Amino acid sequence: MIREAIILAGGLGTRLRSAVPDLPKCLAPVGGIPFLSYVIDYFSGQGIEKYIFALGYKSKDFENFLQDKLPAGDYQLSIEQEPLGTGGAIRLACQKATEKTVLVLNGDTFFRIRLPVLSDFHRQMNGSCTLSLKPMRNFDRYGVVTCNEDHTIREFREKKFYENGLINGGVYALEVPALLETALPEKFSFEKDYLEHVPLGQKLYGQVQDAYFIDIGIPEDYERAQKEIHHLRSK
pLDDT tens, 105-124? 999 999 999 999 999 999 99
CATH of 4-232, one of 3.40.50.11740, 3.90.550.10, 3.40.50.2300, 1.10.10.10: 3.90.550.10
Question: In this model, does residue 14 exceed pLDDT 70?
Answer: no
- pTM of the entire predicted model: 0.95
Angle at 112 between CA 110 and CA 117, to 5 degrees: 135
pLDDT at 178: 97
How is the chain split into domains, by residue range?
A: 4-232
Band (pLDDT 50/70/90 cuts) for residue 25 is confident
**147: alpha, beta or left? (left if phi > 0; alpha if psi -120 to 50):** beta
- Smallest Cα–Cα separation from 9: which of 41, 57, 44, 47? 57
